[in-house]
Amino acid sequence: MPSRRPLARRARPVIGFSVIVLLLLMAWEGAKWVAGDPWRFESFLGTGIAINHTPPFRLTPFNDINLPHVWWIVEEFASVDARGTTTLAVLVGAGLFTLRNAAVGFAIGAVVGLGLAIVIVHVRFLERSLVPLLVVSQTIPIIAIAPLIVIGLRADWLGVAAVTSYLTFFPVTIAAIRGLRAFDPRAHELMTSYAADRRTVLWKLRLPSSTAYLFTAFKIAATGSIVGAIVGELPSGMSQGLARQILTGMQYYTLGPSYLWAAIVIASALGIGAFVLVTLVERWVLRDARPAESGAEA
Amino acid sequence: MTDTVIRSTGSPAGGPVVQLVDVSKVFGGSAGRVEALSAIDLSIASGEFVSLIGPSGCGKSTLLRIVGDLIPATDGTVTVNGKPARDARLDRDYGMVFQAPVLFDWRTVQKNVELPLEILRRPKPEREAKAQAMLELVELGSFADHRPWQLSGGMQQRVAIARALALDPAILLMDEPFGALDEMTRERMNLELLRIWDRTGTTVIFVTHSIPEAVFLSTRVVVMSARPGRITDVIEIDLPRDRNVETREMDRYFELVTRVREALRSGEGGSADASASARVRAEGLSA
């Protein structure tokens, strides 16, 4: 039973994640130490230690514009704008707005995606005629189609949700087509021997057998929904979401790169949050399922 | 002892429960035609326990699936309870048990047994009571809330039997149900199945590879041979109805095992003549 594991073992993934993030940050700063701009600090991070270091090499990707110091980004979160609001509060507020659009878009995408898959597995000729069309839909860059949807539909949360669902339905459809066929053929014979109709087979056999496929797709879609919502916000001219903050960060990048990086941090935090949320739901839904082989989780 | 073969629970005037007339099955298209079954005639009375035995590829599982209307026959007629097999399936006259238990992992043992009752939209109290009764019949009443994967292979197969019996089927179709179990469990399951058969009075068609199992369980053993699959012999098992561990040590039991084995061996090189005469005999026995 996963819930009864000792705390030390349950904390292990969190510790592992933190260690990896720490190593990445060290590599980041290490690269700057070796090939970044000169380090000139009179009092390093308020410790009173003066650092005066000139890296032996100079590489453009590691200079202060392209790769600002990690603590500059942290400081950016704490900095206050003209109205007295911290960047963190501004970005988290924008992030929550985007998250709401993403959630609606994810929900629409999941329902439409699953619905399409259900139709496709029941009407055989659709698989060869409709699926290629769905593939084509994904080859059009979302950035090109977003203005069409947002302006054409409505430049509000609904339009943004529509763009998001355009990005999220596809992985759900593809995975669900496989998942809905992943049942044990003998179980299908069993259902046939009970003269079960298609709807009963769908509810009692096909959908329950497809959960592993569905949740894998939901994880991809949930992460993608954040990207979709941001892309959808761009042409809508909405100012409340993360898209506007990212645009601002891009405009002022050469003056201060840390604002864009701060926005990126918030956007990835949203993506991770969406992923974790789906994982938690999956764990709850499959709480009584046969224990997976060790390491087969996630 | 032969009077115990046909049970009094079935209506003697009602005719056979299963009637196969000149049934054949051909798989594949014009290029790779495989004649799986040829000229099958068989009639099974109510309450009988009939085993189908034969080498791999003799079509015994195919025959079982044709009786259960899971696959259509290419030719011939299949009558079950006086109606076409398809109508019998739509009337839920069948209970199926496969070699694997085919239980749903996402359901508890109890809910697995309730599955057919759910499909028939029976009210919840009835479902629960029936499933509980069936689980008690297979002596798994205290495992209702377990998950299938927490049970041993033999226990899982008993759950599958409980599920198959939940609708009080007229016919129990069993496709090598104990083939994946070890010898000890298998012998215990055989006794268990006889006890259930005795209490429910259902008609059983049982596919097996095992000669001792077929002889021990059945009232009749139908011997089949391959390419094309056909009935080469039908052997009446006139052992006492009340069978137990000692039955396996009776002289008559050994005689019958030998008889089935010889029938299987002669079936391998059997000619069309032999199968035809066996068919006549089969009809004679079931009439």
B contacts of A208 (beta carbons < 8 Å)? 104, 106
DSSP-derived letter for residue A206 is I
Nearest CA in chain B to A186: B102
Rounded to whole angstroms, how far apart are CA atoms B152 and B282? Answer: 39
pLDDT digits over B64-109, tens only? Answer: 999 999 999 999 999 999 899 999 999 999 999 998 999 999 999 9
Q: What is the pLDDT of residue B5?
A: 37
Of B27, B18, B22, B84, give the one whose Cα is nearest residue B45: B18
Q: What is the pLDDT of residue A155?
A: 65
Closest CB from B91, B96, B104 relative to A189: B96
Query: Are A298 and A282 contacting, i.e. CB atoms less than 8 angstroms apart?
Result: no
* Secondary structure (DSSP) of B79-106: EETTEEHHHHHHTT-EEEE-SS----TT
B contacts of A288 (beta carbons < 8 Å)? 106, 147
Query: Are B92 and B123 contacting, i.e. CB atoms less than 8 angstroms apart?
Result: no
Rounded to whole angstroms, how far apart are CA atoms B151 and B159? Answer: 10
**Interface contacts A/B by beta carbons within 8 Å:** 51
With cut-offs at 50, 70 and 90, classify the pLDDT of residue B246.
confident
DSSP-derived letter for residue B78 is E
Q: Where are the alpha helices (DSSP H) in A79-210?
A: 87-122, 124-139, 142-152, 157-179, 185-193, 198-201, 207-209
Residues B32-46: what's their mean pLDDT? 89
DSSP-derived letter for residue B169 is -
- Tokens in use for A280? 């938690």
Nearest CA in chain A to B66: A193
Rounded to whole angstroms, how far apart are CA atoms A43 and A247? Answer: 33
B contacts of A193 (beta carbons < 8 Å)? 68, 70, 89, 94-96, 173
Q: How far is A160 from chain B (nearest CA, A)?
A: 37
Q: What is the pLDDT of residue A293?
A: 54
Is the pLDDT score of A183 beyond 90? yes
B contacts of A179 (beta carbons < 8 Å)? none
Q: What is the pLDDT of residue A236?
A: 82
Q: What is the pLDDT of residue B8?
A: 37
- Tokens in use for A91? 């970005």
* Mean pLDDT rounded to a whole number for chain B: 85
Q: What is the pLDDT of residue A254?
A: 85
Q: What is the pLDDT of residue A102?
A: 94
> Residue B95: phi, psi to the nearest 5?
-120, 130
Amino acid letter for position B4: T
Is the pLDDT score of A266 beyond 90? yes
Is the pLDDT score of A3 beyond 80? no
Rounded to whole angstroms, how far apart are CA atoms A289 and A285? Answer: 9
A194 to chain B, any CB pair closer than 8 A? The answer is: yes
Alpha carbons within 13 angstroms on the beta-carbon side of residue A7 total: 0
Range with the poorest average pLDDT among A76-85, A244-253, B2-11: B2-11
CB pair distance less than 8 Å for B98 and A193: no
CB pair distance less than 8 Å for B70 and A192: yes
SS3 A123: coil
